[in-house]
A = this chain, B = another copy of it.
């Protein structure tokens, strides 16, 4: 580890600091029973959201989140110049089919569960450069679609090993603008792919923790900050085991993650909800960011947040062919303007 090179240019700075003028979160019934139920904008009564298939429900969720976020920004859809989104399904069909509904240019991204940070970082780049005035950044995941695509048929009722996480049924959307009032995206640190050889698809936290470490260290070095400089450092969905691994890895590298650090996967469900290591899926960090975190930033509880979404870049086929699981983490810094 000691000789690992961290180039000083993983972080980019936004001169014009794009403003978060709107955000929205929609979640499933199980997420609605968790500790953040009061913060979510919409809790679905049923997992199928009135659709014939779970995939169509997932698609409807991201459409709902985008419209909700645009409304919360007091804009109309035709004022949004670009839609940046991705999801976990093969060929990111939830995002791409949702994009059919919108008269906006569309950039499809794939970063697995790092998608919320990836789309925010790209969206902020476009707004900051003056190319677009308003962009919508979104992602979605659904327990039932992820389970049957990546793991087992739902009907099988398979047991889950203790290191497993529960894919969050949730979608979050953030509207970034070149003007307005609200928290601002001030910088982004792009991640590199890290692979420490973890092959257990039921232990995503372990696969993603090294990527989170690399991006965090790059961020602190690039920006000459320390963990104490943030009111909140929040990772995406490492889950309880992944969090322990990350804290250890950071400590080995001389960075102490203290009580200002938490992980969305660790906190999104209650201990009583039988989710083992916690939540996962790109909707996990998207749901917490676009509800609780941004609300607390608007209330002034948090003024400087480091949001680090982590993704495991595997496919069922890569695992079947014996490959280990590469991870990636992208980070964005969201700050309130200092008065």
Contact = CB atoms under 8 A, between A and B. Distances in A.
A109 B106 contact: no
Nearest to A52: B321
B100 A317 contact: no
A93 B318 contact: yes
A193 B321 contact: no
Contact of A128 (B12, B103, B111, B129): B129
Contacts of A231: none
A247 interface: no
Nearest 6 A-B pairs (CB), nearest first?
A105-B190, A96-B313, A91-B315, A12-B131, A99-B193, A90-B90
Q: How many copies does the complex hold?
A: 2
A110 B109 contact: yes
Given A92-B313, A103-B192, A108-B110, 12 more contacts: A5-B78, A53-B321, A86-B110, A89-B315, A91-B315, A93-B315, A97-B318, A99-B193, A99-B326, A105-B192, A108-B328, A110-B110
Interface residues of A, number: 59
Interface of A: 5, 7, 9-10, 12, 52-53, 55-56, 78, 81-82, 86, 88-93, 96-97, 99-100, 102-112, 118, 122, 125-126, 128-129, 131-132, 149, 190-195, 313-318, 321, 323, 326, 328
Given A100-B326, A326-B96, A313 B190 contact: no
A141 to B, nearest CB: 13
Nearest to A86: B110
A7 B78 contact: yes
Contacts of A195: 100
Contacts of A99: 192-193, 326, 328
Name the residue among A91, A110, A132, A323 with the largest chain B CB count within 10 angstroms. A91
26 contacts: A5-B78, A7-B103, A52-B321, A55-B317, A91-B112, A91-B315, A92-B313, A93-B313, A93-B315, A93-B318, A96-B110, A97-B313, A97-B318, A97-B323, A99-B192, A99-B326, A100-B195, A102-B193, A103-B192, A104-B192, A105-B190, A106-B328, A107-B190, A108-B109, A108-B313, A125-B131
